[in-house]
Structure formats: C-alpha cells, structure tokens
A and B are shown apart, each in its own frame.
Chain A
Amino acid sequence: MRNAFIETLFELAQADRRIVLLTGDLGFSVLERFRDELPQQFVNAGVAEQNMTAVAAGLALSGKIALTYSIANFPTLRCLEHIRNDVCYHEANVKVVAVGGGFAYGALGATHHATEELGVMRLMPGMTVVAPADPVEARAATRAIVAHPGPCYLRLGKAGEPNVHSAPIDFQLGRAIRVRDGADLTLISTGSMLKTAVGVATRLAEQGAGARVLSMHTLKPLDVEAVLEAARETPAIVTLEQHSILGGLGGAVAEVLAEAPDAHVRFRRIGLPSMFSPRVGSQDYLERMHGLDEESVLRTVTELLG
C-alpha cells in the first residue's frame, strides 16, 4: 500500500507544485525518488513530529497542500495536540499519512502497534479519516484526500499486500464499496481486514450463507446510509478492524445503529479489546492471537448467526 501511495503522490506532485511532502525521517527505500526528483516539494523534518505537523499547517496556511508521513503512532498520537490545534482548528489543508496500521509492525512491539489512532483521529473536528483496504484503494484514496480541501488522515498498511479488488472501483470519500452481496449478514471491514472479510464470505457461501461485504474505507464521514441499509436488508452486522473496538469502525457503526429508529439487527464488533497485545509477532500471528484471522472470524460469525 505504501508503494501505491507514494507512486500516486509522485504523479500528483509532478502536476501540482503546491504539494509538499514532509517526513519524520522515515521512508528508506520508499521516498528516495520523490526526494531526489522533487526536492522543492520534499522536506525531511527530522525525528520531530510536533514540529513537522505544525510546519505542515504553516505551509498549508500559506497555500500548500502539505502531507506528513511517518509510521505507526508517530504522526498521530505523538503530536496529537498539534493536529488538533494547528491543523484541525485552522482547517489547514494537511494530510497526515501513517504507514503500518494495526499490527503491520507486529514484531516491533506494542509501541509500533497502531491500534487506537483511528478512534483518536475520528475525534478530531473536521478530520476526514481514511483506511484503504489494498493497493487499489490506496491509490484512489491518495487522489481523493489530496483533492479534498481540509485535514485528512490516511492509514496505510505496509508493503506487499495483495489486491483484494479485482475490478475497477468507484472510490468516493464517505461512500462504502459493496464488494459482494448476500442476504444473511453484512460484514463491514476497514483497512486491510477487507481481505479477511472476503475470505469469510467465501467460506460462508460454501456453507450456504450469503454475506454482504462492505469496504468502509472512510471512517469519517461514515457512510451512514450503507450501515442503515445493511441493518434493514440483512439480519446481522459484523464489523472487522485491526484496531480497538472502541472508537474505530465498530464504535462508529454502533453509534449509528444505537440511534437508528427501527434497527433490530444482531451486531458484533470484531477487533481488539482495550489492551496492549501481550505478545509480539508477525501480523498473521497477532491476527490469530486476537481472533482476527479468517478461521476465528468465521467461528465468531457462525456463532452470531446461530
């Protein structure tokens, strides 16, 4: 996903000199081409995320489209008040980009597990929050956030994820993508969990159950209509995210369902409880440990369907 992001951004930046990319001293083997070919639009701000964020805001208030780039929690939680006051309060045209969403850096330890930042970014007034599912969505999301005036957060995975989408997609901020349809439940995923959702839906189909799958790439503004439609048209909704079940996709969908006047739908959030992972390991290992792998999700969904 990070390669899809930087390739797309490079193309956009060649055509639009307002685009400035700031990095918190990360991007080895990723950002070199951008740095070398567009030096007037590239800033290595050093390991200083608070300054990077506020400098980006200052650039944006002077007419630039500024992107900050780092990994895991560094461009979000480390400099949260700078995002709140300097970016969001000023409605500055800054895009915060994090590589390594969820357990992508699973073996590096809980400091590098980005498992609360979607919820935290959702709380920021005026912030658009986007977590694409695969390189196809990452390309489209990059174009969309750069075109969207105002603060955005883009959560990327890492490198080498397969494409989940095999056909061209209609990507619009705030509009879920219906990847497949079914009448027995709806699986709503965000970020890289789409792959798991599609896998589970395929397994369910083999058992004779039809699952609608929504890729909720935009967490804010949430596609409320898609959630309500799922509640009306399918008897169960399950959310899937590599994130705390508090505040992220599960929280956002729960908020919608709780206020829906006539939603009588079984509902389950699959994600992390509010905890640090007690073990480190590969993304696959940690997904299994926390019930986020295909087998575990299938089991949970089957139980819910009774």
Chain B
Amino acid sequence: MPQAKTIEIPPAELARRIRRHAVVMCSRANASHIGGSLSAADLLAVVFARFLRFDPAHPDWPERDRFILSKGHGVSALYGVLGECGYFPLAALETFYQDGSPFAGHATKGVPGVEVSTGSLGHGLSLATGMALAAKLDAKSYRTVCMVSDGECDEGSTWEPALFAPQHRLDNLAVIVDYNKIQSFGDTQDVLDLEPLAEKWRAFGWSAREIDGHDLGAIERTLAALPFEPGKPSAIVAHTVKGKGVSYMEGKLLWHYRAPRGADLERALDEIDGRLSDEDEVAE
C-alpha cells in the first residue's frame, strides 16, 4: 500500500545536495539555466522535505500531493530533489541531456516523480489548477503546489488560472513564484515590471504572502500555514537570488545561459559545500 514517506534529510542539507547536483549536471551537459535552478533550490528542499505527501515507490498513488514545476527550465533542481527523495537512483542524473535519456532539459513526464511535462511557459499553473479542481470535485484531500518563474508572469496564460482558481475556491492549490528578478534577456523591472506582484495575486483573489525564498525556516512556516485563508488559493511570492549559493553567479543574467566548467565548477562546488576559507573570500 502506498503511504506518505518521510524524508530524513534536513532541508539545509537537501538544498546543498540539490545545488550540487544542479551544478554538476549543468556542467557535465554544458546546459543552460543553472541560475534559475539555484534560486529555486531552497524552496524545493523545504517543499519536498517538509510539505508534500508522496511515496517515491508509488509515483502514481492517487492520494499524493502534486508538485508542478511550471518553470520547466529549472529542471536540474527538480531532478536532483526527486533523486534525493528516492524516486530513482542518483546515478540516473548523469544522463541529463544525453542521447536517449528521459532526463530532458525541461521537466519531462516519464522521469518518476515528474507530474507533467513543461518547458513552454504559462502552462503549468493551469494544469495544476485542473488537478486541484479534480480534487475538489472528488472530495479528495491531496494538495497541489505549482512553482512559476517571474518571467513566466509575463504570459497572459498565467493570469487566466489566476482568475479561475479563486472563482472555484481552490484553497487546495498554492503557487510559488520564484522571484529572482532576472528573466531571459533582462531584469524583470526593465522588461515587464511585475510590481506590485503580491498585490496582483491578491487583486485576483488569492491570499498572498511574501517571503525570503532562501530562509528555510520562513519557507517551512509559510508552507505549514497553507491554505492562508479558507476558500482561497494561496500565492507565495518568494524573493530569491538568481544563482544563489555561488557568489559569481548571483544576480547575473549570464548564468541563465552559461554552464560552469573547469575552475568555475570547482569554485562553485567549494562554495556550495562550504569549503571556502576567509582567505579565498579576501583574494576575490
């Protein structure tokens, strides 16, 4: 019988491993999108270690909570957390981007634990909304969490489910905006300014909270408070830093595209693993 499995790895350690996997995977594959995986790592760690009810041995368990990564390009972080949770052997991460691998460069169904395939922005929140609606129609208790990017909030199709979910009182649905402030080709405030973002969700009928998306305690407390208000879907606007955890990537558009290689890779892993001495910091 499927049953919710407890993840024994503390969130801080899980986040470290997610970052490490993401950096190594992107480096090996010479893949883009490491910045948006690192910004999401702390959120994913807490969501999987402390919130979602799931059984990695039974990915199709009907009562499981659903997690939808609508920002499908952040998939290296998702594959990492799914591997750490036991959905598949960690060695499978080595096939990321490789010929014939199911571990595609965007979230792709077929990898155990991946609910839906994403990659084109502005799809995931509607899919998650459909799942949440099904739970309501069938009086089931599972919850659905969807992570969107900030750039994705440019898409009109993000705001269609934003209207729909409150109308149907889907308080079993939560959206997390990984608000790292940098989209594909510029800062969000310079491309299409989203501010005031939390106010927008509230104006659409969501109960919204803003948090530091790298404060593990704050993330855990916020998730524990879901739904924020009965009868309303919840929006978590998580302020994050693109490239978080690797100093030379933080806040840099370049790392939406570049993969860390050579000395860059070593430095990234040293920082993630906390092996940097004060001397190294000064030397920079």
A residues engaging B (CB < 8 A)?
20, 40, 43, 45-46, 48, 50-51, 53-64, 66, 81-82, 85-86, 89-90
Tell me which residues across on chain A come within 8 A of B191, comparing CB atoms: none
Assess whether B120 is in contact with A50, with CB atoms less than 8 Å apart: no
Contacts beyond the supplied A51-B161, A55-B130: 6 A-B pairs with Cβ under 8 Å: A50-B126, A54-B129, A61-B115, A62-B135, A64-B137, A85-B118
The total of Cβ contacts below 8 Å across the A-B interface reads: 93
B149-165 interface bits toward A, Cβ cutoff 8 Å, 1 = contact, 0 = none: 00000001100110110
Tell me which residues across on chain B come within 8 A of A85, comparing CB atoms: 117-120, 123
Cα–Cα, bound, A54→B133 (Å): 12
Assess whether A54 is in contact with B163, with CB atoms less than 8 Å apart: no
Tell me which residues across on chain B come within 8 A of A57, comparing CB atoms: 126-127, 130
Closest Cβ–Cβ distance, residue A37 to chain B (whole Å) = 16
- The contact of B127 among A63, A81, A86, by CB within 8 Å, is A86
Tell me which residues across on chain B come within 8 A of A43, comparing CB atoms: 133, 168
Closest Cβ–Cβ distance, residue B156 to chain A (whole Å) = 8
Cα–Cα, bound, A45→B168 (Å): 10
Assess whether B126 is in contact with A55, with CB atoms less than 8 Å apart: yes
Can you give 29 contacting A-B residue pairs, CB < 8 Å?
A40-B137, A46-B160, A48-B163, A50-B156, A51-B163, A54-B123, A54-B130, A55-B161, A56-B130, A57-B127, A58-B126, A58-B127, A58-B128, A58-B134, A59-B137, A60-B130, A61-B130, A62-B131, A63-B134, A64-B137, A66-B130, A82-B123, A85-B118, A85-B119, A85-B120, A86-B116, A86-B123, A86-B126, A89-B117
Tell me which residues across on chain A come within 8 A of B160, comparing CB atoms: 46, 48, 50-51
Cα–Cα, bound, A22→B93 (Å): 39
Closest chain B residue, CB of each to CB of A41: B137
Cα–Cα, bound, A86→B119 (Å): 11
Closest chain A residue, CB of each to CB of B168: A43
Closest Cβ–Cβ distance, residue B255 to chain A (whole Å) = 27
| Known contacts A48-B163, A90-B109: A54-B127 contact under CB 8 Å | yes
Assess whether A46 is in contact with B130, with CB atoms less than 8 Å apart: no
Assess whether B116 is in contact with A62, with CB atoms less than 8 Å apart: no
**Does residue B122 face the partner (Cβ distance < 8 Å to A)?**
yes
Tell me which residues across on chain A come within 8 A of B131, comparing CB atoms: 58-59, 61-62
Which of B116, B120, B168 has the most chain A CB atoms inside 10 A of its CB? Answer: B116
Tell me which residues across on chain A come within 8 A of B116, comparing CB atoms: 61, 86, 90
Assess whether A50 is in contact with B129, with CB atoms less than 8 Å apart: no
Closest chain A residue, CB of each to CB of B135: A62
Closest chain A residue, CB of each to CB of B119: A85
Closest Cβ–Cβ distance, residue B206 to chain A (whole Å) = 15
Tell me which residues across on chain B come within 8 A of A90, comparing CB atoms: 109, 116-117
- The contact of A51 among B118, B132, B164, by CB within 8 Å, is B164
B217-250 interface bits toward A, Cβ cutoff 8 Å, 1 = contact, 0 = none: 0000000000000000000000000000000000
Which of B122, B128, B133 has the most chain A CB atoms inside 10 A of its CB? Answer: B133
Assess whether A51 is in contact with B120, with CB atoms less than 8 Å apart: no
Closest Cβ–Cβ distance, residue A24 to chain B (whole Å) = 11
- The contact of A58 among B117, B119, B133, B163, by CB within 8 Å, is B133
Which of A55, A56, A60 has the most chain B CB atoms inside 10 A of its CB? Answer: A55
- The contact of A62 among B130, B156, B157, B167, by CB within 8 Å, is B130
Tell me which residues across on chain B come within 8 A of A62, comparing CB atoms: 130-131, 134-135, 138
Tell me which residues across on chain A come within 8 A of B119, comparing CB atoms: 85
Closest Cβ–Cβ distance, residue A79 to chain B (whole Å) = 8
Assess whether A58 is in contact with B135, with CB atoms less than 8 Å apart: no
Closest Cβ–Cβ distance, residue A45 to chain B (whole Å) = 6
Assess whether B123 is in contact with A45, with CB atoms less than 8 Å apart: no
Closest Cβ–Cβ distance, residue A141 to chain B (whole Å) = 25
Tell me which residues across on chain B come within 8 A of A58, comparing CB atoms: 126-134
| Known contacts A85-B120, A86-B126, A86-B127: A59-B134 contact under CB 8 Å | yes
Tell me which residues across on chain B come within 8 A of A54, comparing CB atoms: 123, 126-127, 129-130, 157, 161
